[in-house]
Structure 1
Amino acid sequence: MSSTSAASFSSFSSSSFSTVRSPVLNHLLAAVERLTPLQLAGSWDNVGVMIEAPYPRQEIKGKKQVLTCIDLTTAVTEEALASSSTAAVLTYHPPIFSGLKSMTLAVPLQASLLRLSTHGIPVVCIHTASDSSIGGVNDHIASAFTLDLRATSKAIEESKEQPEGHEGCGLGRLVTLDHALNKHEVVKRIKHTLNLDHAQAAWAPNGAEKIKTIAICAGSGSSVLSGVKADLYLSGELDHHATLLCNAKGIHVILTNHSASERPWLKPFAPRLAKAMNEEAGGDAYETKGDGSYVVKDYNNVQQGYNGLYNNPQHGSEGRFTPVFPPPPWLPAPEGRWGKLATLASIIPLISS
């Protein structure tokens, strides 16, 4: 490094570096604590600040943007860096989950964190705090069935902490409907609320003809939903054998794909976040932007993703496999009228991986 470069770097470092958190990060964390209090996250989870920026981003003119995303992918990182207005990234899933012994550019998630930090962009994660909070991910899913969430929807695992404005919060939701719905109406509402084209439904042969109670868990619901008494379990994903057990107990199951149960919440949440940050800042300083990634809904594009949702096949003359929607062209024609296609549930994980 030349003496001129060294002097310039030294000058920048001494004048810009601070161990005090930036106003942007302070405003973001304050807004997060109002909307999705981090104390509501599971004890096993990793939420809050994932990485800070040693220097503030210099080139921002006008409103500062907070990019919201489900996962901090390389594509999301590129999008954040491409905009000179990006001041912070708020991610749902934690880019750091367990302890690290090093941070290197060889690991994509770590590289994303390092690149964002060196460009003055901190990263914050909310994960299960947003699942448990009032107005969070599970409430958004529950809104497909009721407008009066507080009266008809209860947390499955109520949080020990009950912050002001989040009374009754906790993991999962158990919705009790005023009027029972048929299966078609349930699927229709789920598709509309989560912006889905398809849904995977495992109808229990001895289950309720009309749905009165619905147990909800965004993402992976195997542990939260286990043992809950309801006509229907609704989740992003459920263990294969847990699904079979539910059906044996007369519980219907609808699965949406993991992130497809979480991502739609970001759309109504983003303006709430911007509003809260602006209130913390005392002015119109912030706006939010969703990342450009998406969930593929087209059966014909299996290579990019799988969001196909079908009935779990049942054996016997009464338990025929019938698709909720027309089958994809790549699915081999079964014998008879779907009667012996009993392996679809087991091949779905292979398609989605």
Structure 2
Amino acid sequence: MLSSRVRLVPTTVRLIHSLICSSSRSFMDLKTLLSSLNDFASLSFAESWDNVGLLVEPSPPHTVNTLFLTNDLTEEVMEEALQKKADLILSYHPPIFRPMKRITWKTWKERLVIQALENRVGIYSPHTAYDAAPQGVNTWLAKGLGVCTSRPIHASRAPDYPTEGTHRVEFNVTHTQDLDKVISAVKGIAGVSVTSFSARSDDEEQTRLSLNCTQQALMQVVAFLSQNRQYYQKTEILSLEKPLLLHTGMGRLCTLDESVSLATMIEQIKRHLKLSHVRLALGVGKTLESTVKVVAVCAGSGSSVLQGTEADLYLTGEMSHHDVLDAASQGINVILCEHSNTERGFLSDLRDMLDAYLENKINIIVSEIDRDPLHVV
């Protein structure tokens, strides 16, 4: 019994601390905060393979006074978060990625989940949603290049279609007297919206109907048309696409206002990332004095995002050996800074942006222990 009572002490201490401080601090309900975080940078921008959003949730109701930001949630960082009385940890990288079949004390990621639940701390991860966001990680990384214009290398699509439905069906109604009958029939199909406009066919005025319809409704529209061929002609079926978003997407292709030497660019990047060393692969025929005008940027692991992009320089955290060789063979210089070194500095900007966005309702702090696991020795 004694050991069980001892295990409850951290939670008890945290609850007492919260009660003491509640009169002088602001709180946000967890669900309200999550809604605000999603409004700040929609999780719909994340890659389909990613595991984003709320990963660990204490039993409701749960209020948040302190939001703790980290790039990687290790056991050392978790201990720091508990010492600083965090109620929600925003971990850029999701600590839960692959499915867990059990939650025991055996592995470090399982222990993170246990500690979070025992201490009533939520865990939230935005990961690639923040990579794609206009005000996100890649935009921050591009700031280190100097004055430039940038666009996403792979633009994201809007979460919704610009109109109702996923398909558009257009056809001419052959005879005016049949128009009401046809419109009435297609309007009776759930998931169909109808517009019409004048059209000329074989020097004859006709009415062209345009139907926006869902995938399910499309089957019914096609069935109706197949059974009533006498009413229409010149049919087109179009698959609608969600529109591309101008400033949202993976990576950034940056064009500098003024060209600089590769040596100058290296120093600018090191200053921005606060690094004493980076890894450099010179493109074939290039030197440190070669000029740099166009830079392709991808925080973290850039191989898949940067591949095939025309630029003078690739800037990323890590690439495979063979991808570096491929880029260099095309005359593209490559700078590698280690994976999380191209991400972690964003957290300070994120803290300031969230402070303003949440109107200073909660405390937001950045981990002081979180660091890249690799060091130059």
Which residue of structure 2 lines up, in the alignment, with residue 30 of structure 1? 35
Give the alignment of 1:1-353 within 5 angstroms: 23-54=28-59, 64-84=65-85, 86-147=86-147, 152-161=149-158, 167-207=246-286, 209-278=290-359, 284-295=360-371, 305-306=374-375, 308=376
**CA RMSD, aligned part only?**
2.6
Q: Is contact 1:24-1:87 (8 Å) kept?
A: no
Q: Is contact 1:66-1:289 (8 Å) kept?
A: yes
Q: CA deviation at 1:56?
A: 5.7
Which residue of structure 2 lines up, in the alignment, with residue 320 of structure 1? none
Q: Is contact 1:220-1:235 (8 Å) kept?
A: yes
Q: CA deviation at 1:147?
A: 4.4
Identity %: 33
Distance 1:295 1:122, change over 3 A: closer
Q: CA deviation at 1:193?
A: 1.4
TM-score (ref. length: structure 1): 0.70
Q: Is contact 1:30-1:277 (8 Å) kept?
A: no
Distance 1:147 1:183, change over 3 A: closer
What is the DSSP-based 3-state SS (H/G/I as helix, E as strand, rest coil) of the residue aligned with 1:180? strand
Distance 1:167 1:87, change over 3 A: farther
Distance 1:292 1:99, change over 3 A: same
Code of the aligned partner of 2:361? A
What is the DSSP-based 3-state SS (H/G/I as helix, E as strand, rest coil) of the residue aligned with 1:124? strand
What is the DSSP-based 3-state SS (H/G/I as helix, E as strand, rest coil) of the residue aligned with 2:54? strand
Q: Is contact 2:259-2:292 (8 Å) kept?
A: yes
In the alignment, the residues of structure 2 paired with residue 257 and residue 276 of structure 1 have an alpha-carbon distance, to the nearest angstrom, of: 30
Code of the aligned partner of 2:363? E
Q: Give CA-to-partner distance per residue, 1:116-138, whole Å, 9 cap, x none.
A: 12212111001001000011110
In the alignment, the residues of structure 1 paired with residue 42 and residue 156 of structure 2 have an alpha-carbon distance, to the nearest angstrom, of: 11
Q: CA deviation at 1:23?
A: 4.4
In the alignment, the residues of structure 2 paired with residue 162 and residue 231 of structure 1 have an alpha-carbon distance, to the nearest angstrom, of: 33
What is the DSSP-based 3-state SS (H/G/I as helix, E as strand, rest coil) of the residue aligned with 1:111? helix
Q: Is contact 2:30-2:62 (8 Å) kept?
A: no
Q: Is contact 2:28-2:361 (8 Å) kept?
A: no
Code of the aligned partner of 1:305? L
Q: Is contact 1:55-1:118 (8 Å) kept?
A: no
Q: Give CA-to-partner distance per residue, 1:156-197, whole Å, 9 cap, x none.
A: 01001269xx74200000001121110121011111211111
Unpaired segments of 5 or more residues in structure 2? 6-11, 13-26, 161-244
What is the DSSP-based 3-state SS (H/G/I as helix, E as strand, rest coil) of the residue aligned with 1:263? coil
Distance 1:24 1:118, change over 3 A: farther
In the alignment, the residues of structure 2 paired with residue 72 and residue 124 of structure 1 have an alpha-carbon distance, to the nearest angstrom, of: 11
Code of the aligned partner of 2:56? I
Q: CA deviation at 1:27?
A: 3.5
In the alignment, the residues of structure 1 paired with residue 159 and residue 256 of structure 2 have an alpha-carbon distance, to the nearest angstrom, of: 25
In the alignment, the residues of structure 2 paired with residue 294 and residue 47 of structure 1 have an alpha-carbon distance, to the nearest angstrom, of: 20
Code of the aligned partner of 2:136? G
Q: Is contact 1:27-1:277 (8 Å) kept?
A: no
Q: CA deviation at 1:207?
A: 3.6
Unpaired segments of 5 or more residues in structure 1? 6-11, 13-21, 279-283, 297-303, 309-327, 329-353
Code of the aligned partner of 1:103? I
TM-score (ref. length: structure 2): 0.66
Q: CA deviation at 1:203?
A: 1.0
Q: Give CA-to-partner distance per residue, 1:207-228, whole Å, 9 cap, x none.
A: 4820010000000001000111
Aligned length: 269
Q: Is contact 1:174-1:216 (8 Å) kept?
A: yes
